[in-house]
Structure 1
Amino acid sequence: MRRALLTTLLALALPLGSLAQTVEAGGAKFDTSMEVGGQKLVLNGLGVRYKAVFKVYSVGFYLKQKADTTDGVVKQDGPKRVLLKLLRDLDSKDLGKAFTEGMRKNSVPEERAKTINGIFKFGEIFNEMKKANAGTAIGIDWIPGTGAQIFVDYKPVGEPIKEIEFYNALLRIWLGENPADEDLKELLLGKEKKSRRG
């Protein structure tokens, strides 16, 4: 009887299936799968953003199916998630400026006009944040029919941004022609980085 009870308690304590599997980047843990918009997404790639020799944040991309090219990520249908975990205290306004600048630098001409509204709203969210502390989770989900929902520590912030062009520009911060970090681009596409960092 005791053995049966112990077995039941252990079964309840263990994660269901493989949902609780995690991987690590820069000391931050990421689940290998998540649910967004009622659909299961898999971790496409994961890496650390460096500024000089300092770790700034870890970032992971979640998609329905793995993709190893920029077009494969950007043009894939269905929900998506970009998830960042800050590795140091940052000025939220500076972080917002870096993201909006990255979007402007990497937006493609045919989509540029439709990114302006989203980029403005995105920047405003960071302007309103008092501080971005180490350990903060910042995510941006794309949910078809709803738009891009930003969240901070898994709580929605602001109204969804409707334009898919905004979300495409967001993905290109890391995957565009002028990415934030070439090594990180390779990692987010599920490839080995080209060079090593100390």
Structure 2
Amino acid sequence: MHRRSLLALIATAALSALPGGAQAQAANPAAVPGSVEVSGVRYTPTVQVAGSTLQLNGAGTRYKFVVRVYTAGLYLGTKAATPEAVYAASGPKRIHVVMLRDIDANELGKLFTRGMQDNAPKEAFSKSIPGTLRMADIFSAKKRLQTGENFSVDYVPGVGTSVLVNGKAQGEPVREPEFFNALLSIWLGPNPADDGLKASLLGQEAPTPRSGRNR
């Protein structure tokens, strides 16, 4: 085997052993073909969730005015180009977020809750309230997310939604199946946090100028 190919296989195997979404930060473009760099954060083309291989559907940057706040990458079993296709996708899913600046974690949790209220159907949001409160508690306990820190939200059918902060699972999964899609609506709903990020997560070219709301 060619030396470069052997090194690539070794590097890929090492990355697959990293916890949660840490792969997105640690990936090396020379070692992992097909990885995507977003605002200095590199997302691997695939990740493993609950024994399933998920592929990167899209990744982009969340802007608040002209300030870069975080990057986000969406992983699915198969590519999806519309929010409806993402919501309907079967199998595990993951949204992975890497902070580009320090932010009060409790405030971020409140903004996410407001984003779900603004975007998720009323009935779905009502059913996802227990998960919303759980996520708010997780961020409240964290106090602050610093530049370079990350969190992943994984959905596994029959298990529920798990939140991982810096690769470490935070408590038991949220059982309500509506919660994950309600959370995704923050970025993919009719009033997304950032129109450009929505387009990027769906594998589309981000519009110009970008718009960023307060979440």
Identify the range of structure 1 (18-27 vs 110-119) with the bigger mean alpha-carbon deviation: 18-27
For residues 104-149 of structure 1, the C-alpha deviation after alignment (integer angstroms, 9 at most, x for no partner) is 1111023122111111111110000032000011100001121101
Match of 2:146 in 1: 133
1:14 aligns with 2:8: yes
The aligned runs of 1:45-56 (5 Å cut-off) are 45-56=58-69
Shift of 1:11: 5.3
> SS of the counterpart of 1:158?
coil
> SS of the counterpart of 1:159?
coil
Match of 1:153 in 2: 166
Structure 1 residues 47 and 8, CA gap change in structure 2 (3 angstroms): closer
**Structure having the higher Rg:** 1
Identify unmatched segments of 5+ residues in structure 2.
14-31, 211-215
1:73 is aligned with what amino acid?
A: V
Match of 1:32 in 2: 45
Measure, in 1, the Cα distance between the counterparts of 2:100 and 2:11.
29
1:182 is aligned with what amino acid?
A: D
2:8 is aligned with what amino acid?
A: L
Measure, in 1, the Cα distance between the counterparts of 2:43 and 2:209.
22
For residues 75-128 of structure 1, the C-alpha deviation after alignment (integer angstroms, 9 at most, x for no partner) is 111000000000011111111111111111111023122111111111110000
For residues 12-51 of structure 1, the C-alpha deviation after alignment (integer angstroms, 9 at most, x for no partner) is 4322697733211111111111111111100001100001
Q: How many residues align?
A: 191
- The match for 1:190 among 171, 191, 203 is 203
Measure, in 2, the Cα distance between the counterparts of 1:73 and 1:175.
9
Match of 1:3 in 2: none
TM-score, structure 2 as length reference:
0.83
Measure, in 2, the Cα distance between the counterparts of 1:193 and 1:102.
20
1:68 is aligned with what amino acid?
A: A
TM-score, structure 1 as length reference:
0.90
